[in-house]
Amino acid sequence: MERKVRVRFAPSPTGALHLGGVRTALFNYLFARRHGGDFLLRIEDTDQTRYVPGAEEYIIESLKWCGLTVDEGVGAGGEYGPYRQSERKEIYRQYAIQLVESGNAYYSFDTAEELDALRKESESKGETFMYNAKSRGSLKNSLNLPKEEVQKLLDAGTHYVIRFKMPENEDLKLYDIIRGEVHFNSSLLDDKVLYKSDGMPTYHLANIVDDHLMKISHVIRGEEWLPSLPLHVLLYRAFGWENTMPEFAHLPLILKPVGNGKLSKRDGNKMGFPVFPMEFTDPITKEKWHGYKEDGYFPEAFINMLALLGWNPGTEQEIFTLEELCQQFSLDRVKKSGAKFDPEKTKWFNHKYLIAKSDAELAELVKPYLEADGLNFDKAKVEHICTLMKERYNFVADLYEDCKFFFIPPTEFNEKDSKKYWKEDTPALMNELLDILKSIDDYSFSNTEKIISAWITEKQLGFGKVMNPFRVAIIGAAKGPHMFDVIEIIGKEETIRRMEKALAAMQ
Ligand code: GLU
């Protein structure tokens, strides 16, 4: 029987969700949708020392903003809960003990000081200390101590950890969907801690137990977890769960826009682009981070950009709705080499989504800006401005900022532009133009263009000589779309008012 696809996004709430984390969530989501499966959200909060308050809420909000609906898990419920690992503490203990009893794990009573001393000693010899098959025989653990002694220590409540007994010198041939066969030798791996006497499992144990109990079919996660793969597979074996073990896919790294290495949150601040989906203030350091949402990106554009970081459709298509991605996504087309992050391309995506919006939709997005400035929202007028101007912008905020002159008359005239275009003979010319403007009733582009052009031609004035100072008078600077468009939008009364004001100010 085909196994039901069940994938999980399993972040640790140690801070804001980096865009790499969102990409992991997205690929899991797309894979689930493509195969009619379930997308789970599990919060891996077993490391209490790294817990950041608010991080879990941040993760949930970010997924919502991106439109990645969680089917099951924290915030969504489900029959395999609880989905927050700190609420599953009791579950892990029995599994840790099970591994001890089957001879796959053992109690280790070595203190932090003792292990530190061993580490230092190795370092002084230019070696690295590893708790493994070579060293475990001479250390303080249940493999060496007499049974009664172990029991005594446990009864006395001595601090211990349970470690995995990593086999010695075993060649492991493992399979990753993206990378194919991957080889590891177990001697390079140490006896990882699985459980601590404070009752908390470590990531490795909790992760495997939960993936098993939650019937996860595919583990899709970042490449940084590839080195943990051998331990994870060995844990499945040790539990006797290899038959139902999930398949693994490790996603390529997201690389810095320039230079080498993994994209870090510092790169964002340095180069002026967000690395987080939403704004975030670190509750401990109070450091403030930009977010795609607040910086004016559309979630669809952000998601579209992320989808192409490591995956490609095999065609030239670049713009995808989430729905299209759900239909086309496949792990076969995820590459294994790192994907360079390009902040400019992200802006390009936003631009594409901005221009694809209908004028009515865009007008609605401009509305809050107008309201914040106490300006009247004239839907038809705003839509007209959007038609005319949207091609020029990546963000609604920039569109609004640049188009404010449609709503607010200039309070000053750009010095450089007026010097350049407002000559001695300009006032006379503008007064003449004003008379013409007063005589026109139909302010449609075609009508004003016809009348004013005829006048310019008749007087042999040259277009620039009239239109440039006219522009400075109406807009306050040499910018904006065609003047006949501008006056069509602002209308006769406003055009005349602005002309009179400019003439009074710049006689
Ligand atoms: N809690 C791990 C993380 O923060 C999850 C890794 C995994 O998906 O196995 O990335």
Tens of pLDDT, residue by residue, the chain (507 residues): 679 999 999 999 999 999 999 999 999 999 999 999 999 999 999 988 888 899 999 999 999 999 999 999 999 999 999 999 999 999 999 999 999 999 999 999 999 999 999 999 999 999 999 999 999 999 999 999 999 999 999 999 999 999 999 999 999 999 999 999 999 999 999 999 999 989 999 999 999 999 999 999 999 999 999 999 999 999 999 999 999 999 999 999 999 999 889 999 889 988 999 999 999 999 888 999 999 999 999 999 999 999 999 999 999 999 999 999 999 999 999 999 999 999 999 999 999 999 999 999 999 999 999 999 999 999 999 999 999 999 999 999 999 999 999 999 999 999 999 999 999 999 999 999 999 999 999 999 999 999 999 999 999 999 999 999 999 999 999 999 999 999 999 999 999 999 999 999 987
Neighbours of 314 (CB within 10 A): 10
Closest CA to 386 of 349, 348, 360: 360
Task: Quote the radius of gyration of the chain (alpha carbons, Å).
Answer: 33
Atom of ligand 1 nearest to the CA of 12: 4
Compute, in angstroms, the gap from residue 93 CA to the centroid of ligand 1. Answer: 20
Compute, in angstroms, the gap from residue 336 CA to the centroid of ligand 1. Answer: 18
Rounded CA gap, 422 and 478, in Å? Answer: 11
Q: Write the residue with the smallest CA distance to atom 2 of ligand 1.
A: 11
Query: Helix, strand, or coil here: 304?
Result: helix
The single residue of 165, 192, 265, 293 carrying the catalytic annotation is 265
265 is catalytic: yes
Rounded CA gap, 393 and 364, in Å? Answer: 16
- For 455, residues 6+ apart whose C-beta sits below 8 A from its C-beta are 433, 436
User: CA dist 358 to 355, 364, 380, 387, Å?
Assistant: 8, 10, 13, 9
Rounded CA gap, 277 and 271, in Å? Answer: 16
Rounded CA gap, 412 and 363, in Å? Answer: 27
Rounded CA gap, 34 and 352, in Å? Answer: 25
Q: Tell me how many helices (H) and strands (E) the chain has.
A: 19, 14
HSE-CB for 401 with a 13 A CA cutoff: 8
Atom of ligand 1 nearest to the CA of 9: 8
Rounded CA gap, 395 and 403, in Å? Answer: 12
- For 451, residues 6+ apart whose C-beta sits below 8 A from its C-beta are 436, 440
Task: Please give the pLDDT value at position 327.
Answer: 97
Q: Write the residue with the smallest CA distance to atom 10 of ligand 1.
A: 11
Task: Please give the pLDDT value at position 201.
Answer: 97
Strand order in the sheet with 180-185: 72-73, 38-41, 6-9, 218-222, 247-251, 171-176, 180-185
**Residues 446, 448, 449, 452, Cα dihedral to 10°:** 160
Which amino acid appears at position 504 of this protein? Answer: A
Compute, in angstroms, the gap from residue 239 CA to the centroid of ligand 1. Answer: 20
Structure tokens belonging to residue 71: 């089917």
Task: Please give the pLDDT value at position 269.
Answer: 86
Prediction pTM value: 0.94
Pocket probe for ligand 1: among 218, 225, 235, the residue whose CB has the most ligand atoms within 8 Å is 225
Atom of ligand 1 nearest to the CA of 221: 8
Compute, in angstroms, the gap from residue 121 CA to the centroid of ligand 1. Answer: 33
Pocket probe for ligand 1: among 207, 218, 223, 231, the residue whose CB has the most ligand atoms within 8 Å is 207
Pocket of ligand 1 (CB under 6 A): 10-12, 44, 203, 207, 219, 221, 225
Compute, in angstroms, the gap from residue 47 CA to the centroid of ligand 1. Answer: 12
Alpha helices in 335-444 (DSSP H): 343-356, 359-372, 379-389, 396-403, 415-421, 426-439
